[in-house]
């Protein structure tokens, strides 16, 4: 594959938005007396505040992807160097993610949320004011530290602010925001970069962050006294988790750029990740107050749901990475147009999430998950039928079905995953569940990016075997193209060379198209492979169907 094409895919991998970190909230414990109506009087201002915070984080994690070219020219950095603006944020956020449950329990949910919003908003201002690549990367790391907690804490506060009978609606509302954010990011980024300048992709967070902070600070009640002791600080666990997850995420984000294990850096970080995570498992199974209690995986439904969520994350975010790249590199769509093509997926997810919340009252949750899995797999295979001549109507149904399938999976699987768990196990189970989803998405992006390179090279080699001077069709195409170029004013030698170059370009485009079709087919098989896991999911009681999925607190 030519170096230019390799750089396109490698840059897309580094710049790919981190898959959204979908948090879950714990089902209620034993029945408690009904709360007075006044306890939920401010549910809508609180809902607006926390959804703004979550959407702000999701938009910002993907909005930078369309601004790399302008950033590169303004800051005097290469495209490869500027991708660290995205990678730095992802690394910081994924390290914080599994620790959010412990931190919220330690410092209080409201205080932790407000501190995270304030840190994220302040870092956004400093990112917009940055005048060097080093400064921008530094503040993106700080922004990631704040953003890593926003999804989980936002959802927890939202569910706590709604009465039990309306928690399913709250779950669906939050799910809508989870899908709109990633879909809106590239589109909004394209509009901002085209009409203004790249600092505004960060400064646009400021009013959202201020409103979110003020609404939650004013209307969400102060944290009640903690009913349980979170224990001492698990310093070894924190350290091993940070080193292991950080190293693993770096390998997934930048491995393809360094040609994977042919690079000593990637090989060393992969070894570090493996050793750190193995040591973390050994330590967490022995310490009395672990940062992550891995013993929760003894629950069959949680283990199956976590594996299923990882597979769905691989397919969902692998396709979210590949489809815009296909549209922009082969169909020559702008980032803004590509964003609008993907928007029906968010709408379909919103509708299916609201429907799934109602269906769970009459249909077993595992059946809904199975239906969503089949629909999502079908959408992947439909993506695999696209060609270089496909238009927006051809992409409508695959994109729509992808959103529909994901929406059918999201609400029920994050409910059945936590059936039978004790309240003290919820924070650890939810942290592991969301971490698995995040890493599944990163693995999917890494595998798709690598497959696009290797499969393009393989298909090109196969096509070139048939494109020779001894092939009648090839001779006719070259002759016809040469004649048209000569009629346009080119001399015979120049026309011949340009005809060969155009033919080579067509071969390359066809090889890339075949590679995209292989990638989507692979993702469809990944989703189908997770279907048997549905048999291991437990059926929640009818009352659980109206409860929100568990959160990391």
State CA 510 to chain mean position distance. 28
At residue 525 the predicted structure's pLDDT band, cuts being 50, 70 and 90, is: very high
List of long-range contacts for 122-130, beta carbons under 8 Å, 24+ apart: 124/60, 124/202, 124/203, 124/205, 124/206, 124/209, 125/202, 125/203, 125/206, 127/199, 127/202, 128/199, 128/200, 128/202, 128/203, 129/199, 130/75
Residue 31 lies in a domain: no
Domain's final residue, options 179, 202, 223: 223
> In degrees, to the nearest 5, what angle opens at C-alpha 212 toward C-alphas 176 and 161?
65
Residue 97 lies in a domain: yes
Helices (H) then strands (E): counts for the chain: 21, 0
- How far apart, in Å, do the first and last CA atoms of the chain sit? 47
d(CA 179, CA 181) in angstroms, rounded, equals 6
Q: What is the model's pLDDT at position 390? A: 87
Lowest mean pLDDT among 192-196, 375-379, 451-455, 538-542: 538-542
Q: What is the model's pLDDT at position 203? A: 87
Residue 1 lies in a domain: no
Q: In terms of pLDDT, which residue wins out, 94 or 466?
A: 94
CB 547 within 8 A of CB 168: yes
Q: Are residues 374 and 420 in the same domain?
A: yes
- Reduce the DSSP state of residue 59 to 3 states and report it: helix
At residue 106 the predicted structure's pLDDT band, cuts being 50, 70 and 90, is: confident
d(CA 51, CA 176) in angstroms, rounded, equals 10
Q: Are residues 306 and 192 in the same domain?
A: no
pTM of the predicted protein model: 0.74
Q: What is the model's pLDDT at position 167? A: 63
At residue 479 the predicted structure's pLDDT band, cuts being 50, 70 and 90, is: low
The stretch 279-287 carries a mean pLDDT of 84
How many residues appear in the chain? 553
Q: Are residues 153 and 267 in the same domain?
A: no
Mean pLDDT, all residues of the chain: 77
Q: Are residues 204 and 271 in the same domain?
A: no
d(CA 298, CA 280) in angstroms, rounded, equals 18
Residue 13 lies in a domain: no
At residue 14 the predicted structure's pLDDT band, cuts being 50, 70 and 90, is: very low
Highest mean pLDDT among 243-257, 381-395, 410-424: 381-395
Q: Which of 535, 464, 533 is nearest to 504 (CA)?
A: 464
Q: Are residues 275 and 211 in the same domain?
A: no
Q: What are phi and psi of 418, to 5 degrees?
A: -110, 15
Q: What is the model's pLDDT at position 130? A: 85
Q: Are residues 321 and 271 in the same domain?
A: no
Q: What is the model's pLDDT at position 370? A: 92
Domain's final residue, options 223, 249, 271: 223
Q: Are residues 337 and 285 in the same domain?
A: no
- Tell me how far CA of residue 492 lies from CA of 71, 478, 536, in angstroms: 43, 12, 69
Q: Are residues 126 and 190 in the same domain?
A: yes
Q: Over the stretch 290-341, which tens digit does the pLDDT of each residue have?
A: 777 788 888 888 888 888 888 888 888 788 778 877 887 888 887 667 777 8
Task: Report the percent of the chain where pLDDT is more than 90.
Answer: 12
> In degrees, to the nearest 5, what angle opens at C-alpha 113 toward C-alphas 249 and 102?
60
Residue 228 lies in a domain: no
User: How many distinct structural domains can be found in the chain?
Assistant: 3
Q: Are residues 43 and 110 in the same domain?
A: yes
- Reduce the DSSP state of residue 183 to 3 states and report it: helix
Residue 253 lies in a domain: yes
Q: Over the stretch 239-261, which tens digit does the pLDDT of each residue have?
A: 888 888 888 878 877 777 777 88
At residue 66 the predicted structure's pLDDT band, cuts being 50, 70 and 90, is: low
Six token digits for residue 255: 């491995």
Q: Are residues 261 and 356 in the same domain?
A: no
Q: Over the stretch 361-380, which tens digit does the pLDDT of each residue have?
A: 888 888 999 999 999 999 99
CATH number, domain with residue 130: 1.20.1250.20
Q: Over the stretch 133-151, which tens digit does the pLDDT of each residue have?
A: 888 889 988 998 888 878 7
Highest mean pLDDT among 108-117, 317-326, 412-421, 429-438: 108-117
- Tell me how far CA of residue 322 lies from CA of 30, 37, 228, 449, 536, in angstroms: 46, 48, 45, 8, 31
Q: What is the model's pLDDT at position 214? A: 92
Residue with tokens 């048999």: 535
State CA 333 to chain mean position distance. 22
CB 382 within 8 A of CB 516: no
At residue 534 the predicted structure's pLDDT band, cuts being 50, 70 and 90, is: confident
Q: What is the model's pLDDT at position 473? A: 65
Q: In terms of pLDDT, which residue wins out, 169 or 108?
A: 108
Task: Show the domain range for 528.
Answer: 297-553
The stretch 65-83 carries a mean pLDDT of 71
- Tell me how far CA of residue 349 lies from CA of 103, 110, 179, 330, 376, in angstroms: 31, 29, 7, 27, 11
Highest mean pLDDT among 42-46, 121-125, 285-289: 121-125
Residue 19 lies in a domain: no
d(CA 475, CA 472) in angstroms, rounded, equals 5
The stretch 155-184 carries a mean pLDDT of 69
Q: Are residues 369 and 445 in the same domain?
A: yes
The H or E element spanning position 115 is helix 109-129
Q: Are residues 192 and 261 in the same domain?
A: no
Domain's final residue, options 201, 223, 245: 223
Residue 7, number of CB atoms within 10 A of its CB: 13
> In degrees, to the nearest 5, what angle opens at C-alpha 187 toward C-alphas 186 and 192?
95
Q: What is the model's pLDDT at position 4? A: 42
> In degrees, to the nearest 5, what angle opens at C-alpha 115 toward C-alphas 51 and 170?
20
d(CA 188, CA 201) in angstroms, rounded, equals 8
d(CA 68, CA 341) in angstroms, rounded, equals 21
């Amino acid at each position: 594959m030519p170096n230019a094409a390799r750089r396109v895919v490698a840059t897309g991998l580094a710049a790919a938005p981190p898959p959204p970190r979908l948090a879950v909230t714990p089902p209620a414990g034993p029945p408690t007396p009904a709360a007075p109506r006044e306890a939920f009087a401010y549910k809508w201002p609180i809902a607006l505040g926390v959804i703004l915070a979550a959407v702000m984080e999701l938009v910002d994690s993907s909005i930078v992807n369309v601004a790399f070219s302008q950033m590169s020219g303004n800051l005097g950095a290469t495209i490869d160097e500027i991708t660290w603006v995205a990678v730095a944020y992802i690394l910081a956020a994924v390290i914080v993610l599994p620790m959010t449950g412990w931190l919220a329990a330690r410092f209080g949910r409201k205080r932790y949320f407000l501190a995270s919003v304030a840190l994220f908003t302040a870092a956004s201002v400093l990112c917009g004011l940055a005048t060097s690549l080093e400064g921008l990367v530094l503040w993106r790391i700080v922004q990631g530290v704040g953003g890593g907690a926003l999804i989980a804490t936002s959802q927890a506060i939202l569910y706590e602010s709604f009465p039990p009978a309306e928690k399913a609606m709250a779950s669906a509302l939050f799910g809508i925001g989870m899908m709109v954010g990633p879909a809106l990011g590239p589109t909004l980024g394209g509009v901002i970069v085209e009409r203004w300048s790249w600092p505004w992709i960060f400064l646009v967070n400021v009013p959202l962050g201020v409103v979110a902070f003020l609404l939650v600070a004013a209307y969400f009640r102060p944290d009640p006294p903690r009913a349980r002791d979170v224990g001492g600080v698990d310093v070894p666990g924190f350290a091993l988790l940070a080193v292991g997850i950080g190293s693993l995420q770096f390998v997934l984000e930048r491995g393809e750029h360094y040609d994977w294990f042919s690079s000593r850096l990637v090989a060393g970080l992969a070894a570090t990740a493996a050793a750190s995570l193995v040591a973390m498992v050994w330590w967490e199974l022995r310490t009395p107050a672990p940062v992550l209690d891995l013993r929760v995986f003894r629950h069959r439904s949680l283990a199956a749901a976590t594996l299923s969520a990882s597979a769905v994350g691989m397919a969902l975010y692998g396709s979210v990475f590949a489809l815009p790249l296909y549209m922009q590199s082969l169909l020559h769509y702008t980032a803004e147009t590509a964003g609008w093509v993907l928007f029906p997926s968010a709408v379909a997810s919103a509708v299916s999430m609201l429907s799934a919340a109602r269906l769970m009252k009459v249909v077993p949750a595992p059946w809904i998950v199975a239906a969503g899995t089949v629909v999502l797999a079908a959408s992947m295979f439909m993506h695999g039928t696209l060609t270089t001549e496909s238009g927006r109507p051809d992409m409508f149904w695959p994109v729509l079905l992808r959103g529909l399938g994901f929406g059918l999976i999201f609400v029920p699987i994050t409910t059945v995953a936590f059936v039978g768990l004790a309240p003290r196990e919820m924070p650890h189970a939810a942290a592991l569940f969301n971490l698995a989803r995040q890493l599944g998405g990163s693995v999917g992006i890494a595998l798709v990016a690598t497959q696009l390179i290797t499969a393009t090279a393989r298909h090109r080699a196969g096509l070139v075997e048939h494109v020779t001077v001894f092939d009648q069709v090839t001779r006719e195409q070259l002759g016809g193209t040469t004649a048209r170029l000569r009629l346009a004013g080119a001399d015979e030698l120049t026309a011949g060379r340009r005809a060969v170059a155009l033919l080579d370009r067509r071969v390359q485009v066809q090889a890339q198209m075949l590679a995209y079709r292989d990638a989507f087919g692979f993702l469809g098989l990944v989703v189908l492979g997770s279907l048997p896991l549905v048999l291991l999911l437990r059926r929640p009681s009818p009352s659980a169907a109206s409860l929100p999925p568990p959160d990391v607190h």
